[in-house]
């Protein structure tokens, strides 16, 4: 039984976009989907289902951090039969050439979380994206002339780190950016045999300390949402 999603069987589509912010889920549903219904309001974590160019798609808020996101991913897959989860979220750049507004496709997700260290004793599991969804995103980017970066990212448990230089060790090993959810999503997707991909918009940079303005965030997030909707 789902505890955090109050939807009936069939209310949720097989393909789900998963922003962290429930208000971003609302914005995506109202901006891009037709014939929209709200299937969840439990804890304010909004979920919607509608149609996009003839395809039935759902959008569900997942909250901040791996534990919150994994709750919603588990219920979506185990209780509602979801087969594709695409994270659409923001990230902080770790590299000079990963700039504000850039789109990043997370090939894999390193993490400082203990979520997989406790699951795989004395081993290190490498959570990775769905190759099929990744290639669809790359093809979409080429057709739409959208510049993308693709590579390893960090899913961190810490947002405000005491050490402002902490990111440099990850950056030195090629990690592109930091966010807080993808490693959990990719792990559960692998466990349940479904497809998952994180598409991230760079909203700030730990290298330059720059941040996107509200207006720039909106336009960048539009590109990200359109890519996600196009590949499901």
Residue in the block written with tokens 């289902």: 49
Q: What token pair was written down for 16?
A: 């789900």
- Please count the other Cβ atoms lying within 10 Å of the Cβ belonging to residue 118: 8
Q: Compute the average pLDDT of residues 19-26.
A: 94
Q: How confident is the model at residue 226 (pLDDT cuts 50, 70, 90)?
A: very high
Residue 168 CA to residue 101 CA, distance in Å, equals 21
Which amino acids are annotated catalytic? 204
Decide: 176 and 149 in contact? Cβ < 8 Å. yes
Please state which of the ranges 6-15, 23-32, 131-140, 215-224 shows the lowest mean pLDDT: 215-224
In tens, the pLDDT along 180-207 reads 999 999 999 999 999 999 999 999 999 9
Which whole-number Å values give the CA distances from 108 to 135, 163, 178, in the listed order? Answer: 14, 24, 12
pTM, entire model: 0.95
Selection from 134, 149, 31 nearest residue 84 by Cα: 134
Residue 208 CA to residue 52 CA, distance in Å, equals 37
- CATH topology for 15-231? Rossmann fold (3.40.50)
Q: Compute the average pLDDT of residues 118-134.
A: 94
Residue in the block written with tokens 């990719």: 186
Q: Is the pLDDT of residue 96 over 70?
A: yes
The pLDDT of residue 1 is 75
**143 contact partners, CB below 8 Å, separation of at least 6:** none
Q: Compute the average pLDDT of residues 148-157.
A: 97
Residue 16 CA to residue 86 CA, distance in Å, equals 6
Can you give the residue ranges of every domain in the chain? 15-231
Selection from 45, 54, 56, 34 nearest residue 7 by Cα: 45
Q: Per DSSP, what are the bridge partners of residue 93?
A: 177, 205
Q: What token pair was written down for 210?
A: 């720059």
Q: Is the pLDDT of residue 219 over 70?
A: no
How many Cα atoms are found within 13 Å in the side-chain-facing hemisphere of 185? 37
């Amino acid at each position: 039984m789902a505890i955090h999603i109050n939807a009936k069987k069939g209310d949720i589509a097989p393909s789900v976009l998963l922003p962290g912010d429930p208000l971003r889920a609302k914005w995506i549903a109202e901006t891009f989907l037709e014939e929209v219904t709200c299937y969840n309001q439990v804890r304010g974590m909004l979920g919607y289902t509608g149609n996009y160019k003839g395809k039935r798609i759902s959008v569900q808020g997942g909250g901040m951090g791996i534990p919150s996101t994994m709750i919603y991913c588990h219920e979506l897959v185990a209780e509602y039969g979801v087969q594709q989860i695409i994270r659409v979220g923001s990230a902080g750049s770790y590299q000079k050439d990963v700039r504000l507004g850039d789109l990043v496709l997370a090939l894999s997700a390193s993490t400082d979380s203990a979520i997989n260290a406790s699951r795989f004793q004395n081993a290190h599991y490498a959570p990775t994206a769905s190759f099929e969804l990744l290639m669809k995103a790359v093809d979409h980017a080429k057709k739409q002339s959208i510049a993308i970066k693709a590579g390893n990212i960090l899913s961190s448990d810490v947002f405000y780190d005491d050490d402002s230089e902490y990111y440099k060790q990850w950056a030195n090993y090629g990690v592109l950016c930091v966010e807080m959810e993808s490693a959990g999503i990719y792990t559960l997707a692998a466990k349940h045999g479904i497809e998952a991909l994180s598409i991230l918009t760079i909203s700030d940079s730990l290298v330059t300390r720059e941040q996107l303005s509200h207006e720039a965030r909106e336009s960048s997030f539009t590109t990200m949402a359109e890519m996600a909707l196009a590949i499901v």
